[in-house]
């Protein structure tokens, strides 16, 4: 649902960044749009993507609800989507994440993901 409206989106993303840093998670950048968030993360030795996502999603949802930033109880979707990025592509990915508001004026997140999956020949086992 598109609940990350302008007035709360930056608060949420700033909180995610600060909390991640306090837990030793190297979160380079976080941004998103009304219905999703992108995080550029460098996993440290001993960190798993599943553990990092559990920390980020669980704590941020708790914080959003504790501060009553949404009208109804906030929950992230159960899953997440991750792609590894080579060092030489990090600046491109960082710019892409930082320009989410502008980027999604022209296309929905679902459209973008479907095009990305088609381009690379990936399938989504959750789709019917």
- Reported as a single tens digit per residue, the pLDDT across 22-52 is 999 999 999 998 888 999 999 999 999 999 9
Q: What is the mean pLDDT of the chain?
A: 88
pLDDT tens column, 93-112: 999 999 887 777 777 767 77
Instruction: Set out the domains of the chain in order of their start, with CATH numbers.
Output: 6-120 (3.30.70.1290)
d(CA 99, CA 33): 10
By the 8 A CB rule, do 52 and 25 touch?
A: yes
Q: Does residue 125 surpass a pLDDT of 60?
A: no
Q: Does residue 118 surpass a pLDDT of 90?
A: no
Question: Tokens 């989507």 belong to which residue?
Answer: 81
CB 4: neighbour CB atoms within 10 A? 22
By the 8 A CB rule, do 101 and 33 touch?
A: yes
Q: Does residue 73 surpass a pLDDT of 90?
A: yes
Question: Rounded to two decimals, what is the model's pTM?
Answer: 0.80
d(CA 29, CA 33): 14
Say if strands 26-33 and 36-42 run parallel, antiparallel, or are unpaired: antiparallel
């Amino acid at each position: 649902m598109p609940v990350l409206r302008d007035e709360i989106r930056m608060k949420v993303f700033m909180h995610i960044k600060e909390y991640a840093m306090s837990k030793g998670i190297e979160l380079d950048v976080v941004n998103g749009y009304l219905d999703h968030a992108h995080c550029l993360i460098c996993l440290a030795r001993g960190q798993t993507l599943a553990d990092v996502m559990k920390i980020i999603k669980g704590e941020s949802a708790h914080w959003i609800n504790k501060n009553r930033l949404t009208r109804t109880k906030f929950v992230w979707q159960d899953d997440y989507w991750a792609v590894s990025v080579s060092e030489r592509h990090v600046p491109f990915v960082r710019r892409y994440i930082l320009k989410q508001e502008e980027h999604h004026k022209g296309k929905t997140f679902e459209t973008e993901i479907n095009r990305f999956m088609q381009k690379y020949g990936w399938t989504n086992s959750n789709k019917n």
